[in-house]
Amino acid sequence: MLTLDHVAFGGTDLDHLRAAAADVGLASEYGGPHGTGTTHMAVLGLPDGSYLEFVAPTADADPEDAGFWPAHLAADAGPAGWCVEVPSVAAAAKTAIDRGIRVDGPHEASRTRPDGTRVEWDMCFEGPAGDERLPFTIADRTPRSSPDGRRTPTSRTRRSPGRRPSSSPSDSAPPSGRSQSVDSVAASRTPRRA
């Protein structure tokens, strides 16, 4: 069973991505620049500990030179891919190689939160370049937690100020839990530099 970690959305302007989410009542938190210095991100935490990540080039970077998914960011392509949490990126990469799947990684990655905290993780892309059906994998080196004990990349899931939650029946359904089964791999994955 695979555990969904996050879904990435990319574009040329982080403020624009965050505003689009806020327009539908979802407030994100600025997460800081990635270690490459060419991209920065915001996080929209979900109740089960997974999250949406908004990624865009930093002010000094051309979208086509961005360290993460440059062609995707330059095209303002929106939904970019999905990521699953694994205990060991190296072990997951070895399993993929043993099954004849091309890998790009493992790679060490990081970002610096606005409070100055550096967070680090390992990641790997599985599958041939340009074939984005498989998720990429991640294993945190810096623990994630919130004051209430939930595993989260920032502090809390929030709604934008002044927004009312909808009254649809699905809004009152309990969260499905952190572990989500992904029995078949059939969604697009984040484009990356080939």
Determine the pLDDT at residue 93.
96
Q: Can you point out the beta strands (E) in 15-85? A: 26-27, 29-33, 39-45, 51-57, 78-85
Composition of the chain by helix, strand, coil, percent to 5: 15, 35, 50
CA distance between the termini of the chain: 28
Could you tell me the pTM of the whole model? 0.74
Does domain 3-155 sit in CATH 3.10.180.10?
Answer: yes
Determine the pLDDT at residue 144.
80
Domain boundaries, the chain: 3-155
* pLDDT-flagged residues of the chain (< 70): 130-132, 145-194
> CA 49 to CA 54: how far, in whole Å?
16
Quick: pLDDT tens for 39-75.
Answer: 999 999 999 999 999 999 999 998 888 877 888 899 9
Determine the pLDDT at residue 72.
85
Determine the pLDDT at residue 120.
97
